[in-house]
Homo-oligomer: A and B are copies of this chain.
Amino acid sequence: MEKIIHIVAGGPSLYIPNLNDYTGDGHIWVGVDYGVYHLIKNGINPDIAFGDFDSVSEHEWKLIREKSGKIMEYIPEKDETDLELALQWAITENPQKIIIFGATGGRADHYFANAFLLIRKEFLHADCQIEILDTQNRITAHLPGTYKVKKVDDLKYISFLPLTSEVEKITLLGFKYPLENKNVKQGSTLCISNELLEDSGTFSFHSGILLMIRSKDI
C-alpha cells in the first residue's frame, strides 16, 4: 500500500481542491495552522495538527482539539514556519509521496517561501516525491537527471524554471517545443507553457535545480 502524506497549510481555501478526492487507505492527513480547521470543515480528521494556531478563533481551536489525532503546538515566534516543521516530520515517516495543499495564493512571502522549501537540501534530497498542489497548478523541484513525464489531461501546460543562476544542458523530448542541451539562466522564460505531444515525454538536465510547474488556464 502506497503511503501518502497530505499536508494542508493555511493558504486561501479558494485554491485548495476538493480534499475528499484525495482520501484513501494508508493516507495520512496533516494540518498546519489554519489548514487544520480547513481539513475539519471538509470532514477529514487530521492525524496530526502542527502550528502556533495564532490565526484561529476560540471556536475553531476547540474543534481542532476535539478532532485532531495529535497536536504539535509551537510558540508563534520561532525561526521555522509551521509548514517547514510539518515537512520535517513528514519525511521521517518515509512516505512514497507528500502532497502539500493550501501553500499557494494570498501572501506572496508565504507562497514563495513554501515553493522554495522544495529546494531545501533536506527536502530536495528526500527519498520521496514532494509536490505543491492547488486547483490550477502542480509544483515539483528536481535535481539533475532524466525524468519521464506523463500527460495529465487536466494540466495541459508544463513549464520549467531554473532556481539556480543557470541550469545546464536541458533536453526536452516529446514536447511541442523541444530543446537539446540548452543552458538556461534564472529569469529566462524560455521554458514556459510547453506541452506534451504524445502521452509522455522526458526532460533531463546536467546541473542546477529546476522547478517543474504543470498548470492550466481557468
Contact = CB atoms under 8 A, between A and B. Distances in A.
Main secondary structure on A side of the interface with B: loop
B107 A157 contact: yes
Pick from A84, A112, A164, A193 the residue with the most CB of B within 10 Å.
Answer: A112
Interface string A148-176: 00000000010101011100000000000
Interface residues of A, number: 46
A68 interface: no
Contact of A218 (B106, B115, B186, B193): B106
A109 B192 contact: yes
Contact of A157 (B109, B159, B213): B109
Interface of A: 55, 77, 79-81, 84, 104-113, 115-117, 119-121, 134, 136-137, 139, 157, 159, 161, 163-165, 177, 186-190, 192-193, 211, 213, 215-218
